[in-house]
Amino acid sequence: MSSRLEAVVNQVFDRIIPTPNEREKMEEATALIKGRVITEVERGGLKAAVEVGGSFAKDTWLSGEADIDVFILFPTSVSRRMLGEKGLYIAKKAMKGFAWRERFAEHPYLEVNVDGIRVNIVPCYSVDKGKWISAADRSPFHTDYVRKKLSQRDLRDEVRLFKKFTKGIEVYGAEIKVGGFSGYLCELLVLSYSSFIQTLEGISKWRFGQVIDVENHYKGMHNKARRLFNAPLIVIDPIDEDRNVAAAVSKERLGELMAASRLFLEKPETSFFYPTETVPLSPDAMRGNLAKLKFDLILIVFESSKEAPDVLWGQLYKTLRAIKRLLRQRDFRVLTSSAWSNDEGLNALILELETKDLPPSKRHIGPPVDSKEAVDFLKKHLGSENTLTRPWVEGNRWLVGMSRRYVDSASMLREKLKEGGRNIGVASKFVESLKTSKIYVDEDIVDFYSSNRGFARFLTEFLRGKPKWMQLRRQPNH
């Protein structure tokens, strides 16, 4: 390890290891929460066990980023519907007096704030290994596996380093919004490579379709695993060979981790772990930036009912894909795009277009001149008002000049969304709200930008055009 790399790692170590006071606070909070949940289980006369899991139980949590997972393990005689209902009922009774909100994964669970500590109270089934009923049933087994494998304190600290690295480059989290690396996945990767640096060295050499099989379930037959899972990254679950722990990882997040690992090893910086906070540009500065862009921006803002995060972001991404598809079908070239939400019902989709306006005419390629469809093509276009020129032959195909129905991207989107976006494939939950959406173009975006600081931060980062870890310490002028 180079002296620079060692110095950076040591600086980060000093900041991520929980202090004795933090550990004491976490232990007290865990005992309080577990005790409350057990009390409510007993009061209800239920046959359910209560276990603590997650990063705290595995001792891989980061200083200042504490969270606790509490699992209520129900007998398999409880129905799937009742699992969620009973789990939420017990959790809400146990956490009376604390701020909480319902979350939803495969079934509902409760997220609670206990003196600044995020606590997830999750119902699942008490099952034998391999006899899973719900996805959460594996979690206690994951906790036991990692605790046994990470028995050495040094290795747990290596996991902390890797988790902080993935958080710093913003690829941490298996939720739909992120499409990145879960805490359990980070733990398995460090277990596989034995240290933080060796993990980055391994990742820097990955290719799409990489297979990691810690327990060697597939006996080195990685092509079999690739055929079975067909994913950008495949990490076989040590306790379930039929599950890919990395199933949620998108190509984008995987590519970013691979690139960031290479760059960090070449030029170590603490900014990979602790990126500078984005300071939104002032409205005037943003207006000036937008006026100088060599492309066009379209912003669609709409309100919707409040949804669980994974539901919301799944719907947002589905809607964004539908709108991009519509634009491309109408010959508008989308360079890049993204979505934003305040998670309280206010949402925005932003699209970067090569140009927002198109010429009134276009060149339309028809069938081969010797095909059966050629006659129908000629009849159609010789009598069409949309045909601007007579058909001509170029090479072995007929071509014709046609008028475009839509030349203004924003006007086209307004029309299609008011008609009901269901016809173009937007998420069903957004069909009605998109009918009254507001569409902003280029500098007009500042009207919404100046009224919402959360969106302002998002747009400042979006226009930066590359991840923070590629910026190092540079910030836009404001």
Q: For position 60, which CATH number holds?
A: 3.30.460.10
Question: Which of 369, 403, 437 finishes a domain?
Answer: 403
Q: What is the pLDDT of residue 106?
A: 75
Same domain, 370 and 443: no
Closest to 422 in 3D by CA, of 322, 314, 324, 312: 322
Whether residue 302 is found in the same domain as residue 185:
no
Question: Does the pLDDT value for residue 292 go beyond 80?
Answer: yes
Are 40 and 65 found together in one domain?
yes
The H or E element spanning position 353 is strand 346-353
The predicted-structure confidence for 317-376, as pLDDT tens digits, reads as follows 999 999 999 999 999 999 999 999 999 999 999 999 999 999 999 999 999 999 999 999
What is the count of structural domains for the chain?
4
Whole-model pTM over 0.85: yes
Tell me, yes or no, whether 277 lies in a domain. no
Domain closes at, from 372, 387, 403: 403
For residues 310 and 105, the answer to whether their CB atoms sit within 8 Å is yes
- Residues 71 and 209 grouped into a single domain: no
The CATH number for 366's domain is 3.30.70
397 backbone dihedrals φ, ψ, rounded to 5°:
-125, 155
- Phi, psi at 82, each rounded to 5°: -70, -25
Read off the pLDDT of residues 220-238 as tens digits, 9 standing for 90 and up.
899 999 999 999 999 999 9
Domain-located, residue 329: yes
- Cα 41 to Cα 30, 45, 53, 137: the distances in Å are 16, 6, 18, 18
Half-sphere exposure of 200 (CA within 13 A, CB side): 25
Mind listing the pLDDT tens digit for each residue in 5-45?
999 999 999 899 999 999 999 999 999 999 999 999 999 99
**In terms of domains, do 27 and 65 share one?**
yes
108-114, strands of its sheet edge to edge = 49-53, 67-74, 117-125, 108-114, 99-104
Structural domain containing residue 383: 361-403
**Within-domain flag for 22:** yes
Q: What is the pLDDT of residues 58-111, one digit of tens each?
A: 999 999 887 899 999 999 999 998 999 999 999 999 999 999 988 887 778 999
Q: Is residue 1 part of a domain?
A: no
Same domain as 265, residue 342: no
Residue 418 domain flag: yes
Query: In CATH, what number is assigned to the domain containing residue 156?
Result: 1.10.1410.30
Domain annotation covers residue 77: yes
Question: 412 lies in a domain?
Answer: yes
Q: Are residues 380 and 340 in the same domain?
A: no
Query: Do 166 and 292 belong together in one domain?
Result: no
Task: Please report the pLDDT score of residue 475 as a whole number.
Answer: 42
Please choose, from the candidates 172, 424, 411, the residue with its C-alpha nearest in 3D space to the C-alpha of residue 321.
424
**Of 136, 165, 187, the domain-final residue:** 136
Asked if 463 and 429 sit in the same domain, the reply is yes
Q: What is the token pair recorded at 56?
A: 């705290």
Same-domain pairing of 459 and 325? yes
